[in-house]
Structure 1
Amino acid sequence: MSDNKSYIMNTENVAPIIQVPSFLEMRGIRHGFTTRIGGVSSGIYRSLNLGINLDDDKEKVLENYNRVGKAMGIDVNRISCPNQVHKTNILVAKEEDAGDGIARELSHFEIDAQITNVPNLPLIVYTADCVPILLADPVSRVIGTVHAGWRGTVAGIAAMTVEKMVEVYGCLPENIQAAIGPSIGPDNYEVDEEVIKQVMSCPYVDSSPDNRVDQGIGQGDFLIQIRAGSYVDETRGVPDFYKGSVQTHPGAAYSIFRTVHVRDRYMLNLWNLNELILLNAGLKMSNIHQTRLCTMKNHELFFSHRYTNGKRGLNAGIISLV
C-alpha cells in the first residue's frame, strides 16, 4: 500500500469498498465509502442502492446493506441513519440510537452530521454528489460523519462537527483525521454567482483581500491562503493536487473555484473548500485525506444526482468503532 495513494478499493467481497490507507492504520476503527456496484437493486437504483427511503424494493435495499456489512465487518442492523436536509444539525449518537432508521422507524430528523464514542454503533452519511466526510480521533476514540453539500459546506458543517467532538468528548483537533470521500469534483461542479457569493461569506474561510493570493475574480482560479496558525506539516511537501494552485506565500493556497467561459458561471471545488475549513478548525494538513474521486465523472462506479437528473440511488460513507 503506497503512502501517496489517497484511497484503495477493497474488492475482497461482492460489494467493493473505497478505503483510506491512514484510516486503515487506526486500530479499532472500521470505515469505507460504498460504490454502486455489487448490489441487487435494479433500474435507476442499479445496483448497490443504500437509500432505504427511496422508491426501491426495501428487501433489496436491506440485502445491499447486508453485503456492505459483510465487506466492512460491521453489524448493519445497528447503523444510526440520518435524515439529511442540507442543514447543520449534529446528532450525538448514543446506544439507544443503534438501528435507528434501518432496524426500526427513523426517530431523528434534519440531521446532517453525527458523532459518537459508542463501540459497534456505525454512523452513515448518504450522498450522490454531495461530499461525505468521515472523522476519527483514534486517541479519544471518537468518530463522526458529515454530509456537506454546498449549503452545508459554506455553513461550515465540517468545522462545526469538529467543534462538537471537542465540546462533547474533549477531542483535540490535531488528533482528528478526516477522509473526504467520493463526490462531485471541481471539473464538473458548475454553479452560479449566487452560490459563489455564499462561498465568499463562509464563516470558516477568511476570504478577505489580505488573505487572497489570486489576481481577482474573473481571472482564472480564485485562491485562498491557509490562515496563519493552521497546522501545516511542512515536511509533507506539496501534494500533486495542489500543483498549479500554490504561490510563493507562507502557507499553501487552495483553489476554491475557477471561472468558465460563460458569464456568471463558476466551477466550485468542494473538496478543497472542505479541506480548508477543516484546516481552519485545527486539523493537521497531514491528517486530511481526499479520495479525489468524482461521482459525476465516474457515474458507472457511483450514483450521481447531476448526471442522472436526480434519478438515482445513494452511495454512503460508513464508520464504526469496534
Structure 2
Amino acid sequence: MDGLSDINGIKYGFTTRLGGVSTGIYKSLNMGFYLGDDRENVLENYNRVGSAMDIDITRMSCPNQVHKSEVLVVTEEDAGDGITRELTHSEIDAQITNVKNLPLIVYTADCVPILFADPVSRVIGTSHAGWRGSVAGIAAKTVNKMKEVYGCLPENIIAIIGPSIGPDNYEVDETVIKEIYNSTFIDSSSDNIVTQNIGNKDQEVFIRSGSYVNNVRSIPKDYEGMLLTHPGALYSIYRTVSVKQRYMLNLWNLNELILVNAGLKVSNIYQTKLCTMKNHEMFFSHRYTNGKRGLNAGIISL
C-alpha cells in the first residue's frame, strides 16, 4: 500500500494466520470464535493481536456476519460485544463508530475486508464484502452511513481493501456476473462497459466509474484516449474463461469502483493486493481448504 502509513493516529491492521496458538485446521492465529476452535486459544490469539496493535481487545465490537449489507452504528454500549459477552446484534456486515478506544473488527477467509477512516471527523468503519455484499453495495452503504450519522465528507474518507481472494483465483459463474450488472451501485449501461479481447475468444470487461477521478488504477492501453472525453475511470471487473464458461472476478476493483461512485477519491483508496488463496500459507482461504479453516481479521481503532 504505497503512500499509506499513519492516519492521524488511527490504529489499523490485518492479521495473517501466523503467530497464534490454535492448532489443526485453525493453525495458528485463528480469529474466529464460532468455528469449532478452542475458545481459550482464540482469546490468546486476540490478546497477541491486541498487544501488537496496542488496543484493548476487551472493548472490541465483533459482528455476526451473514453476507448481507446491514451497517451497525457502534456506541459505548457495544464495547466488548461478542468477545466478553454473547453477541447482541445479528446479521451485521459493517460497523461504524466515533467512540475512542472501541476497536472494530471484520472477519474474512477470502471475502474482502474493507477498513474506513475519516481522520477529519475521527470516524472509523469496517465492511465485509463477499460478492453478495459487494453487489448489495455494502461499501457504499458504509460510506453513506458515515455521512448520515457523523456528517463525514466522502472526500475525507480513506478506505483500505485488505487481503482477500484475487482476480487470478476467484472463479465465478454467470449468476454472479448478472448480479453485478443488476447492482444499483454500479452504472452498467452500455456506455460504461468496455471490452478488450485477450485471446482464445476471451475478453476482459471494464466498467466505468460514474464520477470524475484524476488518479486511475486500471485502464486498458487501447482506451487511454477515452479518458479525455469522459470523466470516469475504467476498472477491470472480470475476465471471461470461455473454455469453462466461467468468469474470473476482481473483487478488489469492483469495490474500488463502488467506493469511487460513493464519492471517495481514488487517491484515498488503497488495495493491499494480497490474494488469500495464492498466499494460503500466510492467510486462511475458504476456497483453498474447502471451508476447513480459521478466520483472518481486519481491525481498526481510534
Q: Would you call these one fold, judging by a TM-score over 0.5?
A: yes
Q: Is the 8 A contact 1:299 1:307 kept in 2?
A: yes
Give the corresponding residue for 2:54.
Answer: 73
> Is 1:226 equivalent to 2:203 in the alignment?
no
Query: Quick one: distance in 1 between partners of 2:204 and 2:272?
Result: 21
Q: Which amino acid aligns with 1:221?
A: E
TM-score, normalized by length of structure 2?
0.94
> Is 1:270 equivalent to 2:247 in the alignment?
no
> CA RMSD of the aligned region, Å?
1.7
SS of the aligned residue for 1:220 comes to: strand
> Is 1:180 equivalent to 2:161 in the alignment?
yes
Aligned match for 1:156, one of 137, 141, 161: 137
* Match runs of 1:24-35 below 5 Å: 24-35=5-16
Give the corresponding residue for 2:273.
Answer: 292
Aligned match for 1:305, one of 277, 283, 286: 286
Aligned match for 2:239, one of 238, 258, 275: 258
Query: Quick one: distance in 1 between partners of 2:103 and 2:193?
Result: 40
Q: Is the 8 A contact 1:131 1:147 kept in 2?
A: yes
1:247 CA displacement = 3.5
> Is 1:112 equivalent to 2:89 in the alignment?
no
* Match runs of 1:11-26 below 5 Å: 22=4, 24-26=5-7
Query: Quick one: distance in 2 between partners of 1:35 and 1:245?
Result: 38
Percent identity, aligned pairs only, is: 70
Q: Which amino acid aligns with 2:209?
A: I
Q: Deviations over 1:65-124 (max 9, x none)?
A: 000001111001111000000011110000010000001111111000000000000000
Count of residues in correspondence between the two structures: 296
Aligned match for 1:131, one of 112, 120, 128: 112
Q: Which amino acid aligns with 2:270?
A: H
Aligned match for 1:102, one of 79, 83, 102: 83
* Long gaps (5+) in structure 1: 1-5, 8-20
SS of the aligned residue for 1:31 comes to: strand
Q: Deviations over 1:295-314 (max 9, x none)?
A: 00000000000000000000
Q: Which amino acid aligns with 1:66?
A: N
Query: Quick one: distance in 1 between partners of 2:180 and 2:197?
Result: 15
Query: Quick one: distance in 1 between partners of 2:185 and 2:222?
Result: 20
1:203 CA displacement = 0.8
1:216 CA displacement = 8.9
1:143 CA displacement = 0.3
Q: Deviations over 1:280-320 (max 9, x none)?
A: 00000000000000000000000000000000000000000
1:243 CA displacement = 6.1
Quick one: structure 1 residues 298 and 69, their matched pair in 2 at CA, closer, same or farther if it must change by over 3 Å? same
Q: Is the 8 A contact 1:115 1:165 kept in 2?
A: yes
Q: Is the 8 A contact 2:202 2:242 kept in 1?
A: no
1:214 CA displacement = 1.9
Query: Quick one: distance in 2 between partners of 1:294 and 1:105?
Result: 32
Give the corresponding residue for 2:35.
Answer: 54
Q: Is the 8 A contact 1:225 1:254 kept in 2?
A: yes
Quick one: structure 1 residues 181 and 144, their matched pair in 2 at CA, closer, same or farther if it must change by over 3 Å? same
* Long gaps (5+) in structure 2: none
1:246 CA displacement = 5.6
Q: Which amino acid aligns with 1:45?
A: Y
1:213 CA displacement = 2.1
SS of the aligned residue for 2:224 comes to: coil
TM-score, normalized by length of structure 1?
0.88
Q: Is the 8 A contact 1:245 1:253 kept in 2?
A: no
Q: Is the 8 A contact 1:246 1:252 kept in 2?
A: no
Query: Quick one: distance in 2 between partners of 1:279 and 1:245?
Result: 23
